[in-house]
């Protein structure tokens, strides 16, 4: 293709559209199903019960330490499937491109999606591309939907959350949100801060193979651990108590938080999960998690209690307690 | 870690032992309000030791008309308004900066006022107006930014000032018969600049125990212990548990820069009224950086007020929960008063950390 | 397994002896009134206009992009005091 940038014609369904799909999308993540370029993908699933999810991605900046919007689009949907207790299988990719978007960026994003898909063991089998006028979009928006096979013998649901369960977190929190912030407010972040964007399908499969009794899985994305746990506490009508001293936060991330007045509990993560499991299975579950690079730092951060149903509390390092409320909106830097 | 728990337990035991009668300690600084909640200190203290919030949150004591003024400047086509994040959601008489931003005003949140200068250089056709709020910790940073703008000969950078000074507010509180306070937890970073001298009047003139305090949970616990000890001995003095940062003489260089650019003036404190010599304004020789002098918009004064009891909350007279609007009409999502907006505002802190129910695990108080 | 830093950094591990401050910012470069500080690997330029005497190697309190005061390493003082009190000295 000679054109360096996306034109309205690329979205018209005509020759330019076709070329775009063949060169960039099939070129990056093609496979026998996608390559047919049929209106829809005919698929065989392995399980009678399947999981289905969708998400849209509008992150800025598009490229950041540890990932980009493409990787995010694949891992985000893969992880949602994993959190329902499914083996992720197939993804669709819908893109809305702004006229003028650089083809080289699109190429980079597509390549990244292929890498992520291969890591996750999924295939992108169908898609759609539209182009909007310059000014009517923000470069690129991506929607992915995904299906997966629900793992038999498991029951993952907020309804299973009960007092006596431990809450396990798979690793460091706040990495993704902090990596996105690099460059803002003139902060120079060390290379050790990278988005944690990663597919969790295999980790979840290994976990459920050893401990099928896992009650609930949730990935703490937007709104962080605080939002995820508040939702669960409300849905399950259960109380949750966390231990401040158990929360895994990298020193660099803690430094950015202290500087800008953020709380790591409210920062987004893209490669972490929370698992609720009866305390009798905790050690077993931790052992299997720690064998996976994505679960190396797994630990118990709290438990489900009988007190204060619907509330999430935190026991502080000096032994006090405070409420961890649902976040209202975006965190903004504050003075003092 | 064990050391710290031991120290905390020791301090709490001593506080329990020494606090034989009920007492009310005022934390003046908004950052302390948040720190106290985040550490969960209130639950650990004996019932008789009450911590109340004071007027030390710069956003909370900002009057309605300052927000109206800021919005008016922001709405000018050729103005880029720069501000700390806190001010964004504070309600003015009719709107807020966040709303003005959603309606198209160019408002940018920054971490340092110096970021305004870069914006000014990148936008020579625009006027960059910085909302210069804050107490003695932040005022020098704004003043230094003005000096830097002067050194770089910028002609499109301005400050819209609403700085306040802490000691006059404390004096006003002590003169108010409705206010009952037995000791002060003094703001550590304000004192890092101002030093100890401006606060000696508390024990010397008012026999009021006062302790300059840092922001770690142990700093605050140690201060409560010192205050309780002072009260039990009936020997009020000015103590400093934040010596690693606060020198008795403070930071003279910072004060010098503040004095170079700013002069003391009267200021309007939300909920308290006008206090003499409690604010800072730009000196004549730097008027070219004063938005009010150089741009000078006239902004209509807001009429009337609302039922918000921010004023009483700020003076420690009323607990946020006692304000009729708290948690119902007034919440962080729809704040009526400034106390509910600022992360450090007493009402917001009570709401966030107590979810309107005061504490984790306890039923409605 | 790495220990939790979030709880730890409030206490800096061995008690309140070292930099109790949540983010000790160490000056790693200085040129006239500008310095680069390092906070656990995160770096930012800060102004020394309010603290011109600060030197490379100092730990400083930063606020709104300015160094405000040098943090004394001898906070061990406070731990000592507290421990003495506890022992009943």
Q: Hey, is A272 helix, strand or coil? A: coil
Q: Give the alpha-carbon dihedral of A287, A289, A290, A292, to 10 degrees.
A: 140
The answer to whether C51 faces chain B, any CB pair under 8 Å, is: yes
Does residue B9 form part of some domain? yes
Does residue B218 form part of some domain? yes
Query: Mean pLDDT, chain A, as a whole number?
Result: 93
Domains of chain C: 21-87 (2.30.30.140)
Tens digit of pLDDT for each residue in A75-91? 999 999 999 999 999 99
| pLDDT at position C6 | 41
Which residues in chain A have Cβ-Cβ distances shorter than 8 Å to C4?
A: 245-249, 299
Better-scored residue on pLDDT, A316 or A329: A316
| pLDDT at position C82 | 72
Q: Give the alpha-carbon dihedral of B234, B240, B241, B247, to 10 degrees.
A: -170
Cβ pair A251:C64 closer than 8 A: no
Report chain B (365 residues): mean pLDDT per 10 consecutive residues: 76 94 89 85 89 79 88 96 89 89 95 95 97 94 98 97 93 84 94 96 96 92 95 94 93 97 93 88 97 90 64 72 69 68 64 49 39
The H or E element containing residue B143 is helix B139-151
Give the C-alpha distances (Å, rounded to integers) separating A242 from A213, B301, B327, C7, C12.
Answer: 22, 48, 25, 12, 20
Are B253 and C52 in contact, with CB atoms under 8 Å apart?
A: yes
The H or E element containing residue C61 is strand C59-63
Which residues in chain C have Cβ-Cβ distances shorter than 8 Å to B137?
A: 63, 68
Which residues in chain C have Cβ-Cβ distances shorter than 8 Å to A188?
A: 42-44
Distance from CA of C18 to the nearest CA of A (A): 16
Cβ pair B140:C66 closer than 8 A: yes
Which residues in chain A have Cβ-Cβ distances shorter than 8 Å to B354?
A: 323
Question: Is omega for the bond preceding A196 within 30 degrees of 0, making it cis?
Answer: no
Measured distance CA(B315)–CA(B174) in Å, rounded: 10
Cβ pair A333:B111 closer than 8 A: yes
Mutate to test the interface with A, among C39, C41, C62 (most CBs of A within 10 A): C41
| pLDDT at position C9 | 38
| pLDDT at position A318 | 86
| pLDDT at position C12 | 31
Does residue B53 form part of some domain? yes
Q: Which of A185, A256, A264 sits opposite C6 (nearest CB)?
A: A264
Distance from CA of B9 to the nearest CA of C (A): 10
Q: Which of A246, A249, A255 sits opposite C42 (nearest CB)?
A: A255
Distance from CA of A283 to the nearest CA of C (A): 15
Tens digit of pLDDT for each residue in A112-135? 999 999 999 999 999 999 999 999
For range A317-323, the mean pLDDT: 86
Alpha helices, H only, A21-102:
27-29, 32-35, 69-83
Cβ pair C42:A190 closer than 8 A: yes
Q: Give all strands (DSSP E) within A101-251, no chain letters.
A: 123-132, 140-150, 165-169, 187-188, 216-218, 239-243
For range A147-170, the mean pLDDT: 96
Cβ pair C78:B241 closer than 8 A: yes
The pLDDT-based confidence of C13 (bands split at 50, 70, 90) is very low
Which residues in chain A have Cβ-Cβ distances shorter than 8 Å to C82?
A: none
Distance from CA of A263 to the nearest CA of B (A): 10
Tens digit of pLDDT for each residue in A26-58? 999 999 999 999 889 999 999 999 999 999 999
Closest to B28 in 3D by CA, of B230, B143, B172? B172
Closest to B215 in 3D by CA, of B365, B47, B83, B30? B30
Does residue B195 form part of some domain? yes
Which residues in chain C have Cβ-Cβ distances shorter than 8 Å to B147?
A: 49
Cβ pair B192:C65 closer than 8 A: no
Containing structural domain, residue B189: 2-59+177-240
Measured distance CA(B199)–CA(B245) in Å, rounded: 16
Q: Which chains touch A (3 or more CB pairs under 8 A)?
A: B, C
Domains of chain A: 8-150 (3.30.1330.10), 158-323 (3.90.650.10)
Does residue B313 form part of some domain? no
| pLDDT at position C8 | 37
Q: Which of A315, A316, A323 sits opposite B217 (nearest CB)?
A: A316
Cβ pair B1:A334 closer than 8 A: no
Distance from CA of C34 to the nearest CA of B (A): 12
3-class secondary structure per residue, B117-135:
HHHHHHCCCCEEEEEECCC
Measured distance CA(B292)–CA(B158) in Å, rounded: 9
The answer to whether C23 faces chain B, any CB pair under 8 Å, is: no
DSSP A279: G
Q: Quote the pTM value.
A: 0.87
Residue C10 scores a pLDDT above 50:
no
Residue A307 scores a pLDDT above 60:
yes
Q: Which chains touch C (3 or more CB pairs under 8 A)?
A: A, B
Cβ pair B111:A185 closer than 8 A: yes
Angle at B13 between CA B9 and CA B19, to 5 degrees: 140
| pLDDT at position B106 | 97
Angle at B343 between CA A194 and CA B309, to 5 degrees: 170
DSSP A159: G
Which residues in chain B have Cβ-Cβ distances shorter than 8 Å to C39?
A: none
Measured distance CA(B217)–CA(A256) in Å, rounded: 20
Does residue B190 form part of some domain? yes
For range A257-263, the mean pLDDT: 85
Residue C19 scores a pLDDT above 60:
no
The answer to whether C78 faces chain B, any CB pair under 8 Å, is: yes
Mutate to test the interface with C, among A172, A251, A333 (most CBs of C within 10 A): A251
Does residue B15 form part of some domain? yes
Cβ pair B343:A325 closer than 8 A: no
Query: Mean pLDDT, chain C, as a whole number?
Result: 73
Q: Which of C50, C61, C79 sits opposite B140 (nearest CB)?
A: C50
| pLDDT at position C75 | 61
Tens digit of pLDDT for each residue in A200-253? 999 999 999 999 999 999 999 999 999 999 999 999 999 999 999 999 999 999
Closest to A265 in 3D by CA, of A146, A161, A177? A177
Mutate to test the interface with B, among C20, C64, C70 (most CBs of B within 10 A): C64
| pLDDT at position B327 | 65
How many domains are contained in chain B?
1
Does residue B253 form part of some domain? no
Question: Looking at residue B47, which CATH number applies to its domain?
Answer: 3.40.50.11750
| pLDDT at position B39 | 87
Alpha helices, H only, A221-311:
224-236, 251-260, 282-289
Cβ pair C64:B138 closer than 8 A: yes
Residue A297: closest C-alpha in chain C: C1
| pLDDT at position B12 | 94
| pLDDT at position A286 | 98
Angle at B256 between CA C66 and CA B160, to 5 degrees: 65
Which residues in chain A have Cβ-Cβ distances shorter than 8 Å to C65?
A: 186
Angle at C66 between CA C60 and CA B54, to 5 degrees: 90
Helix B139-151 vs helix B252-261: angle between axes, to the nearest 10 degrees?
60
Residue C78 scores a pLDDT above 70:
no
């Amino acid at each position: 293709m000679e054109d360096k940038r996306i034109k309205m014609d690329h979205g018209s369904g005509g020759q330019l559209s076709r070329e775009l799909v063949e060169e960039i999308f099939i070129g990056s993540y093609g496979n026998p199903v996608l390559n047919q370029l049929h209106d829809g993908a005919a698929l065989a699933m392995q399980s009678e019960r399947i999981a289905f999810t969708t998400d849209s991605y509008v992150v800025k900046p598009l490229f950041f330490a540890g990932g980009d919007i493409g990787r995010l689009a694949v891992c985000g949907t893969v992880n949602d499937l994993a959190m329902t207790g499914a083996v992720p299988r197939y993804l669709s990719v819908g893109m809305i491109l702004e006229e003028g978007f650089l083809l080289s960026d699109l190429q980079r994003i597509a390549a990244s999606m292929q890498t992520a898909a291969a890591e996750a063991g999924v295939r992108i089998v169908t898609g759609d591309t539209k182009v909007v006028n310059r000014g009517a979009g923000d470069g690129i928006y991506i929607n992915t939907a995904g299906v997966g096979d629900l793992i038999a013998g498991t029951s993952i649901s907020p309804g299973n959350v009960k007092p006596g369960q431990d809450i396990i977190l798979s690793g460091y929190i706040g990495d993704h949100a902090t990596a996105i912030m690099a460059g803002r407010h003139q902060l120079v972040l060390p290379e050790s801060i990278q988005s944690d964007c990663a597919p969790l399908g295999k980790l979840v499969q290994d976990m459920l193979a050893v401990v099928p009794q896992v009650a609930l899985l949730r990935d703490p994305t937007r709104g962080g651990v605080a939002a995820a746990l508040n939702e669960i506490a409300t849905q399950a009508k259960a109380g949750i108590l966390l231990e401040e001293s158990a929360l895994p936060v990298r020193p660099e991330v803690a430094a950015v938080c202290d500087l800008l007045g953020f709380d790591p509990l409210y920062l987004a993560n893209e490669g972490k999960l929370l698992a609720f499991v009866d305390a009798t299975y905790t050690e077993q579950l931790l052992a299997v998690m720690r064998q996976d690079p994505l679960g190396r730092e797994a630990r118990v951060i709290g438990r489900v209690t009988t007190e204060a149903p619907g509330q999430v509390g935190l026991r502080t390092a000096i032994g006090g307690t405070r409420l961890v409320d649902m976040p209202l909106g975006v965190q903004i830097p504050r003075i003092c | 870690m064990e050391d710290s728990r031991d120290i905390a337990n020791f301090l709490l035991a001593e506080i329990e032992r020494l606090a034989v009668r009920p007492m009310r300690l005022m934390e003046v600084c908004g950052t302390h309000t948040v720190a106290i909640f985040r550490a969960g200190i209130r639950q650990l203290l004996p019932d008789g030791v009450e911590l109340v919030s004071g007027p030390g949150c710069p956003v909370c004591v900002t009057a309605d008309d300052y927000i109206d003024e800021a919005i008016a400047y922001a709405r000018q086509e050729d103005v880029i308004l720069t501000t700390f994040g806190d001010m964004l959601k504070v309600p003015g008489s009719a709107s807020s900066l966040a709303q003005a931003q959603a309606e198209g005003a160019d408002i940018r949140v920054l971490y340092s006022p110096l970021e305004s200068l870069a914006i000014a250089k990148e936008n020579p056709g625009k006027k960059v107006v910085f909302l210069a709020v804050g107490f003695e910790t932040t005022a020098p940073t704004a003043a230094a930014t003005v000096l830097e703008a002067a050194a770089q000969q910028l002609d499109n950078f301005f400050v819209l000032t609403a700085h306040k000074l802490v000691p006059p507010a404390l004096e006003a509180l002590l003169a108010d018969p409705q206010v009952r306070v037995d000791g002060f937890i003094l703001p550590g970073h304000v004192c890092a600049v101002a030093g100890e001298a401006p606060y000696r009047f508390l024990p010397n003139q008012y026999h009021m125990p006062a302790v300059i305090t840092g922001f770690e949970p142990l700093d605050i616990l140690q201060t409560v212990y010192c205050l309780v000890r002072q009260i039990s001995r009936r020997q009020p003095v000015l103590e400093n548990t934040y010596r690693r940062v606060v020198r008795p003489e403070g930071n003279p260089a910072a004060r010098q820069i503040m004095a170079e650019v700013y002069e003391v003036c009267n200021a309007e404190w939300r909920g308290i009224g006008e206090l003499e010599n409690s604010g800072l304004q730009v000196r004549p020789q730097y008027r070219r950086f004063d938005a009010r002098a150089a741009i000078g918009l006239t902004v209509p004064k807001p009429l009337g007020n609302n039922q918000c009891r921010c004023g009483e909350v700020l003076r420690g007279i009323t607990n946020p929960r006692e304000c009729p609007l708290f948690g119902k009409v007034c919440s962080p999502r729809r704040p009526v008063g400034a106390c509910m907006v600022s992360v450090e505002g007493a009402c917001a802190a009570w709401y966030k950390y107590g979810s309107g129910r005061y504490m984790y695990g306890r039923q409605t108080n | 397994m790495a220990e939790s830093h979030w709880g730890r950094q409030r206490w800096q591990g061995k008690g309140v002896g070292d930099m109790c401050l949540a983010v000790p910012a160490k000056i790693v470069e200085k040129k006239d009134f500008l310095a680069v500080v390092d906070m656990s690997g995160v770096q930012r330029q800060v102004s020394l206009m309010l603290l011109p005497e600060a030197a490379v190697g100092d730990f400083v309190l930063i606020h709104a992009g300015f160094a405000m005061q040098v943090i004394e390493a001898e906070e061990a003082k406070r731990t000592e005091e507290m421990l003495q009190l506890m022992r009943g000295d």
